[in-house]
Structure 1
Amino acid sequence: MSDSLPKPLSARYKESFAYETVKDRMPVILTKAIDACHKQIEPYHEKCGEKGAEDVKKVIGQMSKLRNELMTDKPFVELDDDLKDASEWNDCLNELKNSQDEKPSYFTSPWLFSECMMYRRISGILQNSDFMKSFDPYQDQKRVALDNAIPGLITMADHLKKISEERNLIQDTELLKCFQTFLKASLWSNRFDLSLTAGENKDHESHNPVETLQELESYLLADNSEAIFKHLCNVKQSGNKIRVDMVIDNAGFEFSSDIMLAEFLLESKIADSIQFHVKCIPWFVSDVTFEDFDYTLKTLSQTENKVLASYGKLWLKRLQDRTFLIAPKENSQFWTLSRPYSEMHKHDPKLYQRLESSALIIFKGDMNFRKLVSDLAWDSEIPFATSVLGFSPAPLCTLRTLKADVVVGLAPGKAEDAAKKDEDWMVSGKYAIILAHLDA
């Protein structure tokens, strides 16, 4: 990392949100993962006999040891599992050892590495088990979040259906407003992040999300949505097929809102196909995995509400006709590394090349934003295009509610105004940004 760049966020700074996260939230998340495993002792005993029960207990012991290492700030150890990215992680760790004076640990290292390492260690422990390799310790929490989301999703589905039926009557200026509605619904759905609440499900999703958007407008600190819309329209006018890529964040209400945005882009003929990028392992409690993607669409297709169910069935068909695409697992490993996206072209050129054919890449959520800006302590007025450090495979934008003490792309005075209103404005998820870098 260049000496001229800001320092990485780190739990070494005791007044930081990184310190609070490593000290308080991460141990709670680990405890809940351990509790989820405890509940599996009897089921695995019934399914696999005594060896199954002992295997679960072994996993519990290793996760408990990891929790102790985290809370006592033990140095990181190299990964010893069979997941494909183990050597890449160990390379990262060795780079870290060579770049800092003290031995890398949860409280001394860059926050991005520390936080990602905990989740990666959890997956490694499961991978080394005999029977629990495919177990997702956050699955129940994600499914409860989806159940809680249904009332709000019914409202959004009704709104989408109404717009679709009136499509021939909608003028270009109204189309922009419709685009902004679904883009901002996708943005604000990012508030419901189980890693921020340490796995605690909050029943926020039962409100009317469309009506709420206007109330939230004053909390939107930067809004490049009109520029994003104009960019997509310009690409469309060129006669080229438009594929929009969405790098997905949380399951439940957020992912379902993302699919609503994707459907609007297709129905309005702004885009011809949508490619979704999801996680290959359970990640940050609520991040969407390949299994969550499948479960969500099937669940929505079977809801009692006819409109929402019809969309769920349509989305399953879209996977067959390839207007919806899921980027393959071999192109998903980079999303669960701790490396910033500015290093993607070097460490995962095949993924970078896949993204180059996109008309627009939409990065959802806080962690994707942190990786876009390398999780550095940037000045809030630094342009977004500067902070991505050359990462530009295609035009891109970020939809993010603020849950970490880094933000860029704000107009002069915006940060100070927000701080006067709310001292936790950078970390509470109450404020948001829509930023774009469209000059790829």
Structure 2
Amino acid sequence: MPDTAPAPVLRADRPGSFPHGVLAERHPAIIRQVRELIPYDPERRRALDALLANCTEGVVEPLPADAHDLGDWQDWGLAEHIGRSWFDLPWLWSESYFYRRLLHAVGYFTPGPWQGIDPFRPAKLTELDAPQTDEELAALDALADRPADERSRALLHGSLWGNRADLGFRLSAEGAGTRAAAPALVADDSETLWSLLPPAAEGGTLCLVADNAGRELVPDLLLIADLLDRGRIARAVLHLKPHPYYVSDATTADVLDALRRLTAAPGTAAGYGRRLWSALTDGRLTLRAHPFSGGPLPYAEMPDDLRAEFAAATLTVVKGDLNYRRLVGDRRWPATTPFADLTAYFPGPVAALRTLKSEVVCGLDVGTEAALTAAEGERWRTAGTHALIQVKV
């Protein structure tokens, strides 16, 4: 990490704070949603009820001794957190472990009929099959006639603003589905991003660390297809979650659902879908689901094999709010802290594409922060109505 003095780690121990609201309100809402959308048997429903009581009023409990990932969680600090209130731990760790405990409650990892059943799949498919998706895919027909650079810029911004489809965010943000998001960027390093991926580049590799499934993953895939089509990259590696996570985070199954949605669509969208399908089969597009992608630690603590992958990439694009928190550190940084300072540890060029849905933000100029705060108080940090594109070369 840089010489920048560390800011306080975000925790959920202050009532009224955004992290406290996530643990006290969003997590119970997620448990209730899972109970309503999937007809789990009595054993699973009792386990979900127990998790609801535990995560709001209890303390962190250990994983079963035979859990397949117990070693990972021990490496990630489980022992030091057992017996403590969820609200007293680092917020990122509490959130991540909540989803691990939810998967345990529904039997996701346990041999039996519920093994491998994504508890968030109904919500993801509802998002992907929404009429708005048809409208967004139909818009590709008009985009096809635009100049190539204009089309690429539009697809980049589609990938950026696609984060508004985050399902977990909607659960606790009343009216988020209908409130118009301001199209203004609070930071825009897109020209630097494009300079790292020139047309007809020789053999470049893009790593894209995906965030959400559904209507966000589709524009991520469209961006990858455009970069491959234009020769800006020769290969893309799409980093996914190894298991369901944060309600709507993308897994391999979600990529397949998105590809089926594209290839079944009329017009230009189907062509994108077929080219992406072909890219998967010939190796130009590779899927990766590293265990660390579903872990509770910042990327500054990534394992050596993942560090080597990012070091070898021409550019790593980190999508979404959670990945941004992991990239810069889940701390209440002064908003003017330079992005390059907080990502100096990263082993290669890295870009963040993110709509703002949590308190963590950096890299703003003084005037931008002042204007946002004057207009909206602190709400601009969490409302999902502002976005940023930041790059460290």
TM-score by length of 1: 0.82
- Code of the residue aligned with 1:265 in structure 2: it is L
For 1:159 and 1:269, the matched residues in 2 are separated by 22
Question: Residue 284 of structure 2: which of 323, 340, 365 is its match?
Answer: 323
Report the counterpart of residue 14 of structure 2 in structure 1. Answer: 13
Contact 1:78 1:93 in 2 (8 A): no
Percent same amino acid among aligned pairs? 27
User: How is 1:60-99 mapped onto 2 (pairs within 5 angstroms)?
Assistant: 60-72=45-57, 74-80=58-64, 82-94=66-78, 96-97=80-81
Which residue type is aligned with residue 240 of structure 2? V
State the partner residue of 1:222.
187
**Deviates further, 334-343 or 2-11:** 2-11
Return the offset for 1:203: 9.8
- Structure 1 partner of 2:340: 385
Alignment equivalent of 1:294, drawn from 256, 266, 280: 256
Letter in 1 for 2:350: L
Q: Decide whether the 8 Å contact of 1:301 with 1:312 is kept in 2.
A: yes
Which deviations, in whole Å up to 9, do the C-alpha atoms of 1:59-100 show, x marking residues without a partner? 22112101101111x221111165543222133334644xxx
- Paired with 2:51 and 2:176, the residues of 1 have a C-alpha distance of 31
Distance 1:199 1:132, change over 3 A: farther
Determine which structure has more spread, i.e. the larger CA radius of gyration. 1
**1:143 correspondence with 2:125:** yes
Contact 1:402 1:431 in 2 (8 A): yes
After superposition, the C-alpha distances for 1:137-165 in whole angstroms (9 at most, x for unaligned) are: 110110111111422332342145324xx
**Other-structure match for 1:274:** 236
Alpha-carbon distance in structure 2 between the residues aligned to 1:8 and 1:350: 26
One-letter code aligned to 2:15? K
Residue pair 1:81, 1:128 contacting (<8 A) in 2 also? no
What amino acid does structure 2 have at the position aligned with 1:123?
A: L
CA distance in 2, matches of 1:301, 1:120: 33
Corresponding residue for 1:369?
324
Aligned partner letter, 1:320 = T
SS at match of 1:113: helix
For the Cα contact (< 8 Å) 2:96–2:295, is it kept in 1? yes
**Unmatched runs of 5 consecutive residues or more in structure 1:** 41-55, 168-174, 206-211
**Which digits, 9 at most, give the CA deviation of each residue in 1:85-130, with x for residues without a partner?**
3222133334644xxxx95321111110111111011122322362
Computed over aligned residues only, the root mean square deviation of the Cα atoms, in angstroms, reads: 2.6
Q: 2:214 and 2:169 mapped to 1: Cα distance?
A: 15
1:49 corresponds in structure 2 to none
SS at 1:198 equivalent: helix
Given candidates 82, 89, 96, the residue that maps to 1:116 is 96
Equivalent position SS for 1:196: helix
User: What are the residue-to-residue correspondences of 1:282-361 with 2, within 5 Å?
Assistant: 282-303=244-265, 305-327=266-288, 329=289, 332-344=290-302, 348-361=303-316
**Alpha-carbon separation, structure 1, partners of 2:12 and 2:110:** 29
TM-score, normalisation: structure 2: 0.91
1:157 touches 1:260 (CA, 8 Å); kept in 2?
no
The 8 Å contact of residues 18 and 111 in structure 1, kept in 2 or not, is answered as yes
Q: Which structure is higher in RCO with an 8 Å CA cutoff and minimum separation 6?
A: 2
For the residue of structure 2 that corresponds to 1:356, the secondary structure is helix
Please give the per-residue CA displacement for 1:207-233, whole angstroms capped at 9, x wherever unaligned: xxxxx9xx944x210000011111222
Distance in 2 (CA, whole Å) between partners of 1:377 and 1:25 is 21
Structure 2 SS opposite 1:309:
helix
Corresponding residue for residue 349 of structure 2: 395
CA deviations on 1:181-221 (whole Å, 9 max, x unpaired) are 2211110111111111128998969xxxxxx9xx944x210
Aligned residue for 1:320, secondary structure, equals helix
SS in structure 2 of the partner of residue 153 of structure 1: helix
Q: CA–CA distance in 2 between the matches of 1:91 and 1:325?
A: 28
- Residue pair 1:402, 1:432 contacting (<8 A) in 2 also: yes
What is the one-letter code of the residue matched to 2:160? L
CA distance in 1, matches of 2:172, 2:224: 27
| 2-structure distance, mates of 1:386, 1:14 | 31
For the structure 1 residues 88 and 286, does the alpha-carbon distance in structure 2 shift closer, same or farther, using more than 3 Å as the test? same
Gaps in structure 2 of 5+ consecutive residues: none
Distance 2:65 2:221 in 1: 34
**How far apart, in 1, do the equivalents of 2:174 and 2:19 lie?**
22
Contact residue 76 and residue 295 of structure 2 kept, 8 A: no
Aligned residues: 388
Structure 1 Cα separation of the partners of residues 174 and 230 of structure 2: 34
Distance 2:68 2:297 in 1: 16
